[in-house]
Amino acid sequence: MNTANSSRMSVSAPGENTRRRSQENPGACIGAAVDAFRGAYVRRAQSVLRGALIALASLGLAGCGTHRTASSTTPVAPETVGALTADATELGATSFTTAARATTLGGPLGGLDAGSLARFEAGRDEFMDEDDVEEGLGPVFNEASCVTCHTGPVGGTNGRVETRFGRMVGGRFDPMESEGGSLLQDHAIGEIGAGAGVFTYAPESVPTEANVRAGRITTPLFGLGLVDAVPDGTFLTLARLEAFRTPWARGTPNMVTEVATGATRVGRFGWKAQVPTLQQFSGDAYVNEMGVTNPDFPNENCPQGDCTKLAFNPFPTLNNDGEAVEQFFDFMTLLGPPPRAEHSYHGQAGAQVFERIGCASCHTPSLVTGPSPVAALSHKVFFPFSDFLLHDMGALGDGIVQGQAGPRDMRTAPLWGLSSRSAYLHDGRAKSIQDAITAHGGQAAAARAGYYRLGPGSRAQLLAFLRSL
């Protein structure tokens, strides 16, 4: 297999690059990865014309041979075509890249060694552990353990919604930190102390001056170790490819500060891609969801923004030395991606509908990890169906500003594991996959229009495909 060109990471002129590969290296593919992953969704551009219909390797058959199936060189209008964003080769896959392996939903990545499995188990125990006031819970918090929200199964989501608020004045967003924003803590430890020192901590509420209020549903954590292992450069490449090939739906990286190092990194976790690493999310969630301070997040949340109330904090020193944070991180890093359902005939046809009406412009089928100390995460192709970039979603945006994510911007939600859920979109407003699609606006308006134009048969195929991810 000739892979001379296939490890290209940065693509300055995507069209040219594609053309070169198509001519010189038509057979290059990530066959090993694809063969290992039944139903893989890996395609490559067959056409060199910008905006042309892109070939779609048929699901379940994807492999070297099928990369050269259907193609068209007829340029078509953006509303009628889902142009390709990027294939795995452009995002770093080489002949050495293999597919990440799932086990069961909530189970570890496939192929872990005994040491990693032990870390997964220990991390899972800590993730399920309920903290109490003696361990640093509160004074204000949302729940006493990670699993209270991330369950069904452990690491998933039970649909728990939390609240963010703020104030938009003259186009400027104020997260209202002095009132406890933007994240509301809806629980508190209650009465504390004895004698002269009795104090009652109360849950926070949305201040009356807030004019933005948004629900945020708990996201499932399956497969996020893979997302963590994607190099920043890959997301930047993807953003460039989108700007070139699907400008109407181009995504933007949320460049944010990595707390541990001060470096500027590509945010990829959270509904607004506001957090760059799983390590950081572990410490961030520990303090913001549970009120447990830890080395990277040493400051307690001031209840309703009033820091004088911390005078009664029963555990004012650093609550956790960071060991629990490492264990959450281990669990989430090693938690496998959702296993995919068997592919029905309908589902395979649905993949082509997904591509044709523009869903794949943002919901990028495959990504590739870089090097990782965990072999099962190193140089793997995986199928999250997201570019993890921000898109202007119009009225669907939640009004909150986080990092470079503006009020209307949301991170493309990954579509893997959809069938294990029953509420969709950032605030859980959609109770069916169809409702989630028809709520898309802004940059996704053309894709939504494409969905409306589908006949009943194609709609059923698309939904079957989405449920198989």
Q: State the residues that interact with ligand HEC by CB under 6 A.
A: 142-143, 146, 148-150, 160, 162, 216-219, 221, 224, 249, 269-271, 278, 281-282, 285-286, 289-290, 328, 332, 357-359, 361-363, 391, 393, 396, 410, 412-413, 415, 418, 424-426, 433, 436-437, 440, 443-444, 447, 451, 466
Token pair for residue 186? 């809806």
Q: Is 412 left (phi over 0), alpha (psi -120 to 50) or beta?
A: beta
Pairing state between β 264-267 and 98-99: unpaired
Query: Torsions phi, psi of 420, nearest 5?
Result: -90, 5
Four-CA torsion 380, 383, 388, 389, nearest 10 degrees: 100
Token pair for residue 211? 């004019």
> CA-to-CA distance for 455 and 112, rounded, in angstroms?
45
Residue linked to tokens 């590739």: 368
Shortest approach of ligand HEC to residue 143 CB, angstroms?
A: 4
Shortest approach of ligand HEC to residue 222 CB, angstroms?
A: 9
Q: Between 198 and 341, whose beta carbon lies closer to ligand HEC?
A: 341
Q: Is 357 left (phi over 0), alpha (psi -120 to 50) or beta?
A: alpha
Q: Between 32 and 154, whose beta carbon lies closer to ligand HEC?
A: 154
Q: Between 63 and 450, whose beta carbon lies closer to ligand HEC?
A: 450
Q: Between 30 and 217, whose beta carbon lies closer to ligand HEC?
A: 217
Asked if 72 and 52 count as a contact pair (C-beta separation under 8 A), the reply is yes
Asked if 382 and 223 count as a contact pair (C-beta separation under 8 A), the reply is yes
Residue linked to tokens 């990369």: 67
Shortest approach of ligand HEC to residue 72 CB, angstroms?
A: 20
CA distances for 377 relative to 152, 158, 232, 371, angstroms: 24, 27, 16, 8
Shortest approach of ligand HEC to residue 82 CB, angstroms?
A: 8
Q: Between 37 and 465, whose beta carbon lies closer to ligand HEC?
A: 465
Shortest approach of ligand HEC to residue 468 CB, angstroms?
A: 13
Residue linked to tokens 């509908």: 353
Token pair for residue 429? 């407003």
Q: Between 193 and 453, whose beta carbon lies closer to ligand HEC?
A: 453
Shortest approach of ligand HEC to residue 387 CB, angstroms?
A: 8
Shortest approach of ligand HEC to residue 34 CB, angstroms?
A: 23
Q: Between 254 and 282, whose beta carbon lies closer to ligand HEC?
A: 282
> CA-to-CA distance for 390 and 111, rounded, in angstroms?
32
Shortest approach of ligand HEC to residue 355 CB, angstroms?
A: 10
DSSP string for residues in 80-125: G-------GGGGT--TT-EE----STTSBPTT--HHHHHHHHHHHH
Q: Between 26 and 394, whose beta carbon lies closer to ligand HEC?
A: 394
